Structure 1
Amino acid sequence: MSAQPFHIWLISPSRRGRQMLWNTLKTGASYEVNCHWHHRGPYTGTGTLLRQLVPEVYRQFPEHVLAHAVEILSIAPELRSTFSVSHETLTSLAIPEERTRFYSHTRTLRLAHGIIDFLKGCLSLKMYSHLSLYFENVQATDTLDQEFLRVLLRRADPATLTVIIGTTCDPLPEQLQTALADHTHQIRVEPQDAGEYLQLLQAWQFPQVWQSWLLKHTEGWPEEYEPLRDLSQYLRKSMPQGETFALGMQAISEQVSAEQNAAWAQAFIASDCTNDCLLERLAYQRLDASTRQRWHDERADWLEQQHEWSLKLGAIPYHRERGSSPANQGAAALQEALDYCISMGYYEATVDFGYRGRAVINWAEQEHYYWIFTTKATTSLAALGRPEEAEKLYNEARALSTRAKLHMQAAYATAMLYTRHLPENRRDHVLAKAWINEAIAIANLLPDAKERAFHSVFNQNGLALIETHMKNPQEALHLVTEGLKRLEEELEPGEHMLHRSVLLYNRGQVYAGIGALEEALADYTAVITQDPYYSEYYLERGNLYRRLGRDEEALADYERAVSYSPPYAEAYFNRANVHSLFGHEEEALADYSYVLEIDPTYLDALINRASIFYEQGNYTVSLQDVERGLQQDPENAQLHCTLGLLLMAQKDTEKAYQAFSDALQQDPLLVAAWTNRAILAFEENRIEAAIKDLSQALTLEENPTVLYNRGIAYQAQNRWQEAINDFTQALALSNEDAQDILYRRSLCFAQLGNTSQAQRDLQEQQALRP
């Protein structure tokens, strides 16, 4: 029996120790990336991997790269010189001044799944037989790299795509720690034992006094004492000092030459302050402020000359905010990173840049910067589910400023907090309306006509949302329609196209909510014409087509929704539902399985897949899905019902009856559970119990199959007329079991002496035979 492959987690205090282990583990095509966020900010590790992989893949399989262009270029923008995205949306094209819609906070998860599909595709295309990916410095990753790695560890098959994670011994964020515990085999690099350690110190001709001191004050990691090898001349002239290793290194850094300290400090800055050499860090800390700032400036200048965009998200703002002009050059660099991150939906990074920007400026003298850093941080906080934190910042901004536009924007945002983002127990639509009316009042006073028109309509669109929440859809329709009309009249044709499309889409949503489906369809179709590559529009219109019974058109829209976006579960789930409706079982199974791959907690996909497996007679696999689902939701009625069907197939009638009863305890409206429990009762000759369950099912839904079954039960009790009534009603609803129903009804008529009707039923039944 072969050993089960696994991903690997390397743990060592220093990078050198992890590197030595990684060198022994490389297999197949191997790639190493440094994930430390100082280098390139969000997606430092993932972006570095793509910059290494994609050019070669594009040379061999350009169509595979283009199929994942959105996610690749979102994470590694430098690759735009290699290829481009052909399907831009109004959201991605909007200039910052017209950006009124931001991506969902789940977009980064979609990007992660898309990149993983790209990697797996490289393997299925046989470009690689095996991939080994080493992610180093993972303890210092940003949240987006962490998200990617968590998903990669779960989805990657280590037999073909082995993930190696390198970290220090420091604590990790809880979710990352859990993913590593669940999906990796842990290897800890051990320090050298005292004997080996002593041999090395002797071989390097360390003085005896230093040998004794190092043996006492270090753990035996080579990276602790190796930096001292270049100081052998100094060690022979000095005595060790300090009661700890750190204090001893501090003493050395204070006594070696200024040139040596400068070299260490410059090496530390050149590593973007990521090296784990203690002597380098101590030398950096000993620099005088002006020298430290100058060297940060020089490093930033050099990095800017590399013309790599992702450096502007990491090392460049990092050095600028520590350079000689943090409030100006630092603020400018931080704002550039902030603007990019919020436009891409990188909300954790936006919050980080916002707080860092607020820290380097003078609030009283740089109000422009203050509001940019604050409002984009608050927008991101709301998207991340941290509305209380955002609310405090809005209150702070109102207290600090008298600028009308600042108060207008803060009023709008606060209204959205109270109608949309705050916890349910704190939502207050009346208070939200009060805040939005303040924003509208200020907008109406703006001196510039176009600005006044846009901001008035923008804020009235927020009021429309509040009216919808207050159950006033007609008022919401009026507000949005009037807004569209005003923008058409007062703006130039190409201005604020994104917001015009948002208004149109919002009106379509209101129409759909009140059941005006044709009007909603017209608006969705119009907005798709304006913004033809926005995936969610196709998803919504597909859902509308389903409500209208136009399933072929729904399927076509779901196909487009899938093709125009990095993967998200809803699009594949809805497509699977239509495939299932059309009897495309294999296509439906593939989509449901993919949904569960990207979201293992998507219970409806698990339920539906279990049902298809059951219908195919694949009871073992169906049962596995049911048991997995019941682990997630032990009280799920549909799963208990499917379990009952599987137990029926296994002839375990007692447990099957209990499963249907459990289903009904959780959901008394579940017709299938009433019907199947009745079948079990009938088979056990408990006819009255079967009739009672079937009658209960018919109070919930007029169903021809249930009527047919109850007719059989009445027939078994010689209740001929009641059986005839059920058979007749079943025939009126459906011809599916017409032959058997006609035959059974003829027998009932015969029992009642109505031989002519019995004969007509038999003749009609004979005519239906093939």
Structure 2
Amino acid sequence: MIDAHRGHQGPYTVAAALLHHLVPGVLERSADLVAAHDVEIRAAAPGLRDRVPAVRDRPAAGLADDERILVPAPRRTLRLANGLCEFVRAAVPPGRVLAVGNAAEADPTDLELLAVLTRRIPPDVLAVQVWSGGPPAPPDTRTAGRLWAEVDRCTQEGFLHAVAELGALGLERTEPGSARWWDFAQRTATALGGLGRREEAGRLWEQVRRVSQDPAMHAASAYGLAMLDARNPDPATRDLGRARGWLNQAIAVSTLLPDPAERAFKLGFDRNGLALVEFREGRVDRALDLVDSALALAAELGERHPVHRMVLLANRAQLLAARGQGKEALEEYGAALALGVALPDHYLDRGNLLLKLGHAEEALADYEQAIRLGPPLPEAYYNRAEAGLVLGRVEQALADLAYVIELDPEYVDAYVNRAGVLAGLERDAEAREVVEAGLEVAPGNPYLLAVLGQVETAAGRFEAARAAFDQAIAGAPELAAAWGNRAVLRFEQGDAAGAVADLDRAIALAPAPDLHANRAVALRALGRVKAAEVDERLAGG
């Protein structure tokens, strides 16, 4: 039995024990299998790094501490868990049992991994047995130096729950306002913000302001407070005016920094933050000016801070794309990727732009590069499915969407797209199965209900179809497909006038040849021949 108490090793205590048991034997049988999961193994079991070389190394891993400015999003641990699951599934002989105790004290990384193992590996291959109880961990006597090493590693790997917990211990064991205390405060507040614990993060940033007179700390805390609003995913509680005020203060304080390189970096960082506020307030040109000024400052840094420059170039690309300058945006993405420190997200973003511009094959190549760069990334497979549909590779797209759902059962858009494609292929039984699974995750989702309405219509269950369409339209009045498909149902029920009314709404929302063709049929049924002829011309008939 593996003792899961996070006090023994912190994040991935269970995973590390399991990997130490499996990896040596797998290396003898199939070194390629280990190499294919190097990122996951090295992240979860650092004790194996001497035996598992970095094949898909994170490009910023060798940079100086002040140059590693990106913190992985919380979802990275789901990617790691899925990659570890696929390694374990391939490595263990069938019929094995994984027994885990002290689960109540496990780190969230292990709890997530156990959930993924249980969901994705059949019990006849690996039965996962979990108990909450177990012996207490020994007293925590780690020094501030030891805690800092663990906080630093957890920050770079994206183990944000551990950063928040260990960082709090580090703050208790260091003198407020000291250099090491500041290190803990900055990492801990950033992790809390990333976890959505904004009030706690705000209190810690405020504490920084109260214990220090260091301009660098004040600039950073002002920036941190601003980002709690600027990056707040809920527009209803996001205060961009307050964010602007904090960023103005950060910029003002950064101008006081005596070191020219530090001043150039910090001012560029802060201006990039202000660009986010400008963009969210709809001032794209002003945001672009700020990013350009940040890039000019970055030019003063020589070869230092490549990640900072990469972020600025990628942001400039996004702003140019928002302004409709697709070609120029692609050039900026190319410049960002050429720095060699890009993350999968930037290949996804460029792929999305390429797909929007009609370059599906090139988009596909970017999505596949994002897939190669690390553990399973649901968004990359979802986007590859969209490109595959454009290119007519329907079965591959369906397989990609099914894999997205396997990786992340809460990825609602994957259910919507997979169900819609299946319904379009008249594979109604499969479409219904996907819709029902999706509605368990997202009850009342209008897009899934619209597909359900199609399936019910095809089955002749008109009352159920009408109920599904009505509910979809009530939830998303802008959903043209629901109006258009309800029109088909109403026409089949003999309500040509109702069909025309629904098609009027659908065409107003999203004109399409098939909608005009359907409206022409309904108009002819009503004897409105001239209007029907207009629609037939618009339909290309």
TM norm. shorter chain > 0.5: yes
Other-structure match for 1:143? 108
1:483 is aligned, of 266, 287, 294, to 294
Other-structure match for 1:304? none
Change (3 A) 1:39 1:441: same
1:101 is aligned, of 60, 63, 70, to 70
Matches within 5 A, 1:459-608: 459-488=270-299, 490-492=300-302, 494-531=303-340, 534-608=343-417
SS in 2 for 1:92: coil
SS in 1 for 2:131: strand
8 Å CA contact 1:105, 1:345 repeated in 2: yes
Other-structure match for 1:163? 128
SS in 1 for 2:231: helix
8 Å CA contact 2:275, 2:286 repeated in 1: yes
Change (3 A) 1:722 1:58: same
> Is 2:172 the counterpart of 1:359?
yes
SS in 2 for 1:93: coil
Other-structure match for 2:152? 339
Deviation at 1:337, TM superposition (A): 1.4
Which range moves more in the overlay, 113-122 or 421-430?
A: 421-430
Question: 2 CA distance for matches of 1:696 and 1:460?
Answer: 44
8 Å CA contact 1:91, 1:102 repeated in 2: no
> Is 2:14 the counterpart of 1:49?
no
Other-structure match for 2:86? 117
> Is 2:253 the counterpart of 1:442?
yes
Change (3 A) 1:155 1:334: same
Other-structure match for 2:32? 63
Other-structure match for 1:273? 138
Question: 1 CA distance for matches of 2:233 and 2:360?
Answer: 37
> Is 2:197 the counterpart of 1:386?
yes
Change (3 A) 1:679 1:371: closer
Change (3 A) 1:500 1:621: same
TM-score, normalised to structure 2, is 0.93
Change (3 A) 1:507 1:404: same
Deviation at 1:93, TM superposition (A): 2.9
Matches within 5 A, 1:710-725: 710-725=519-534
TM-score, normalised to structure 1, is 0.66
Change (3 A) 1:419 1:690: closer
Question: 1 CA distance for matches of 2:494 and 2:104?
Answer: 66
Deviations 1:556-581 (A, max 9, x none): 11111112121232111111122223
Matches within 5 A, 1:225-236: none
Identical-pair percentage: 37
8 Å CA contact 1:89, 1:531 repeated in 2: no
Instruction: For 2:192, give the aligned amino acid.
Output: L
8 Å CA contact 1:575, 1:591 repeated in 2: yes
Deviations 1:40-98 (A, max 9, x none): 22211111111111121122122221111111111112222223123334433322121
Deviation at 1:725, TM superposition (A): 3.0
Other-structure match for 2:499? 690
Matches within 5 A, 1:250-269: none
Other-structure match for 2:54? 85
> Is 2:258 the counterpart of 1:458?
no
Other-structure match for 1:227? none
Between the two proteins, the alignment pairs up a number of residues equal to: 541
Other-structure match for 1:132? 97
SS in 2 for 1:132: strand
Deviation at 1:691, TM superposition (A): 3.4
Question: 1 CA distance for matches of 2:236 and 2:443?
Answer: 28
Change (3 A) 1:640 1:523: same
2:161 is aligned, of 348, 357, 371, to 348
Question: 2 CA distance for matches of 1:518 and 1:528?
Answer: 16
Q: Larger radius of gyration, structure 1 or 2?
A: 1
Deviation at 1:339, TM superposition (A): 1.5
Deviation at 1:425, TM superposition (A): 5.4
Change (3 A) 1:688 1:422: closer
SS in 1 for 2:99: strand
8 Å CA contact 2:402, 2:418 repeated in 1: yes
2:508 is aligned, of 699, 707, 711, to 699
8 Å CA contact 1:90, 1:531 repeated in 2: yes
Question: 2 CA distance for matches of 1:669 and 1:108?
Answer: 35
Other-structure match for 1:299? none
Question: 2 CA distance for matches of 1:50 and 1:708?
Answer: 60
Change (3 A) 1:503 1:651: same
Change (3 A) 1:618 1:353: same
Other-structure match for 2:187? 376
Question: 1 CA distance for matches of 2:122 and 2:255?
Answer: 59
Deviation at 1:472, TM superposition (A): 2.4
Instruction: For 2:250, give the aligned amino acid.
Output: A
RMSD: 2.5
Deviations 1:458-507 (A, max 9, x none): 2222222222233322222122212222322x223x21111111111121
Question: 1 CA distance for matches of 2:393 and 2:539?
Answer: 28
Instruction: For 2:383, give the aligned amino acid.
Output: N
Gaps of 5+ in 2: none
Deviations 1:629-669 (A, max 9, x none): 33444433332332222223222334334433333333344
Question: 2 CA distance for matches of 1:451 and 1:691?
Answer: 65
Deviation at 1:679, TM superposition (A): 3.2
